[in-house]
Structure formats: structure tokens, C-alpha cells
Amino acid sequence: MSQSNKPNTGFWILSILALVWNLMGVLNYIGQAFITDDMKALLPESQRLYMESVPSWATAAFAFAVFAGVLGCLLLLLRKKIAKTFFVISLLGVLVQMAHAFSSEIEDVYGPGGITMPILIIAFSILLVWYSRLVDSKGWLS
């Protein structure tokens, strides 16, 4: 029996869900990067002060993470091997960004979700690197 290089339905479902996840990250980044002073004024003071204290390197890492993730997902849907590289870039961006989150008082500002969400983001980024390598090993990427 020969192995088919045609992806199964699960591949398409997971790839589309990953794209939606990363597009939500892009929307989050855009919302954070372009927040106005009027919108900041509506936030609780602790969240506003936290947002204002985020260093530019963490914001740049956030941008790399989400945009590389979207490109990785699009390339995965196009079944291109280079998707793996973009998922690694995305993971590196996530790790740099989350280094700031874990080194700050994020849990004091956002509560338990302040730690839960960064852990979930890291896990999902690792999963995408692993999944892209798995589907490549199945011959689904060219």
C-alpha cells in the first residue's frame, strides 16, 4: 500500500482553525498597537498602566508572532513546506513576547487569565510547529 499525499479532512479543519486563531491574534495586535488615549481611559487603571509599560521589543515580538503565524497558516493551507519556518518564527516571537508577560505582574493586572492565556498561546504555537512537521513527514507539503 502506498501512502497518499492528499491531506485528510482533519488537516483542512485544523489548518482553518489555526488560521482563525492567528487572525484573532492579528486583530488583538492591531487593537493594542492602535489603541487611542480615549480607549485607554476606559480601561481600569492597572490595565492602562500595564499596557503603557509594555516595552517596544515585546510589541515587536507580538507582531512577528501573529503575522508569521498567519503566513504559516496560509502556507499550510497551500501545502507548502516553508510553512514550518513561519511557525518557528511565530513561536520565537511568542516566546519573546511572553518572556515580558511572565516577568511582569500580569496576573495581578488581569487575574488568573493573565497567566492562563500566555500558557495557552505558547502551547498552541508549539502545537503548530509540531503539526506542520508531522504533515510534512506524511508528504502532504511540497
Mean pLDDT of 121-137: 97
Cα–Cα distance, 46 to 136 (Å, whole number): 45
**Distinct helix (H) and strand (E) counts, the chain:** 7, 0
**2 DSSP assignment:** P
| pLDDT at res. 1 | 45
Longest dimension (CA), the chain: 64
In a domain, residue 142? The reply is: no
In a domain, residue 2? The reply is: no
In a domain, residue 80? The reply is: yes
In a domain, residue 87? The reply is: yes
Task: State CA 87 to chain mean position distance.
Answer: 9
Contact 76, 18 (CB under 8 A): yes
Residues 52-97 have pLDDT tens digits of 888 999 999 999 999 999 999 999 999 999 999 999 999 999 999 9
Q: How confident is the model at residue 124 (pLDDT cuts 50, 70, 90)?
A: very high
In a domain, residue 38? The reply is: yes
In a domain, residue 3? The reply is: no
User: What percentage of residues in the chain have a pLDDT greater than 70?
Assistant: 96
In a domain, residue 117? The reply is: yes
Buried/exposed code over 44-67 (b: 16+ C-beta within 10 A; e: otherwise):
eeeebebeeeeeeebeebbbbbbb
Cell 506542520 belongs to residue: 132
- The domain in which residue 67 lies consists of 9-137
In a domain, residue 27? The reply is: yes
Among positive and negative, which fits the CA dihedral 130, 30, 71, 92? negative
Question: What total number of domains does the chain contain?
Answer: 1
- Average pLDDT of every residue of the chain: 91
